[in-house]
Amino acid sequence: MARDHPGLPIILIAGIPIVAVRLGVGFLRFQARRKRGVQRFRETLVRGGMPREQAGRLAQSYHDVGSLRKVLRAAGAT
């Protein structure tokens, strides 16, 4: 493949930092939205009358569902 297109490996190598930055920015946005969502979820539960301790535990479970690390660990364990 590289013999047919001599500049292709250079183009691919040059694109790696761009992909890495986009992935990093996307991941940080995901983390921020996740955090805000968990905070809103907890606040809504407390406003709805749920005790703070119970709302905190439920919100932590909600937070853990979106954990990329835990999802990958679970996928590797199966």
One-letter amino acid for residue 17 of the chain = P
pLDDT digits (tens, 9 = 90+) for 12-29: 788 899 999 999 999 999
End-to-end alpha-carbon separation of the chain, Å? 36
Query: With left for phi above 0 and alpha for psi between -120 and 50, is residue 49 left, alpha or beta?
Result: left
Higher per-residue pLDDT: 16 or 68: 16
Entry pTM: 0.68
pLDDT over 90, % of the chain: 56
Distinct helix (H) and strand (E) counts, the chain: 3, 0
Residue ranges of the domains in the chain? 14-77
CA distance 51 to 71: 29
- Give the residue-averaged pLDDT of 47-76: 90
Q: What is the mean pLDDT of residues 48-74?
A: 90
Residue 5 has pLDDT above 70, yes or no: no
